[in-house]
Homo-oligomer: A and B are copies of this chain.
Amino acid sequence: MTDNELPLKLWVVLARAAAAVRRHAVADQERHGLSEGEFAVLEALYHKGPMLLVEVQRKILVSSGGITYLVDRLAGKGLAERRPCATDRRASYAALTKEGERLIRSIFPAHGQAIARAVSGLTDAEKRQAVKLLRKLGLSAAELSAPGDAEPAPRVASESGSARQASEAR
């Protein structure tokens, strides 16, 4: 039975597994008042030291507006700060404050354990196998032509029907 729904099934179990594990990760992060994105920024800075905002952005896969928002929030909490870049005045670094470093250092080990627990349903051999397959899958999917190519496709459903507020602007 060469299952021609194999790709769909793979996508379903992939999405569900990721969601299930993510729930554990996020629950752990929220115990410290951090959103997923905030934690990702802290973790990146913790492991790599100060980075340009654009580097962090690419690492954690958020939009340009998103990284501004996240660094703003962390700065507001006193966990991170911006530092000017000496060689490029457009750019700036994000860096952990003392408090930010203290926080991430104190919670990271437990976080790792929470993740370990979440994935403990697989043996180490299975984990290695899964890493290999998922790495291959992730890389190949990421390399496929940018989404939205091909045909615009027939627009369905009015879509212009929703009341659009006429906001006066500046």
Q: Mark A1-42, 1 if CB is under 8 A from B, else 0.
A: 010011111111111111111111111101111000000000
Interface size on A, residues (CB 8 A): 79
Q: Is the CB of A22 within 8 A of B31?
A: no
Known: A33-B157, A78-B157. A17 touches B141 (CB 8 A): yes
Q: Is the CB of A76 within 8 A of B16?
A: no
The distance in angstroms between the C-alpha atoms of A121 and B11, with both chains bound, is: 13
The distance in angstroms between the C-alpha atoms of A129 and B26, with both chains bound, is: 28
The distance in angstroms between the C-alpha atoms of A156 and B61, with both chains bound, is: 26
Q: Is the CB of B6 within 8 A of A155?
A: no
User: Quick one: which of A14, A115, A117 has the most chain B CB within 10 A?
Assistant: A14
- Per the 8 Å Cβ criterion, residues 126-170 of A in contact with B are 126-131, 133-142, 144, 147-148, 151-159, 161-162, 166, 168-170
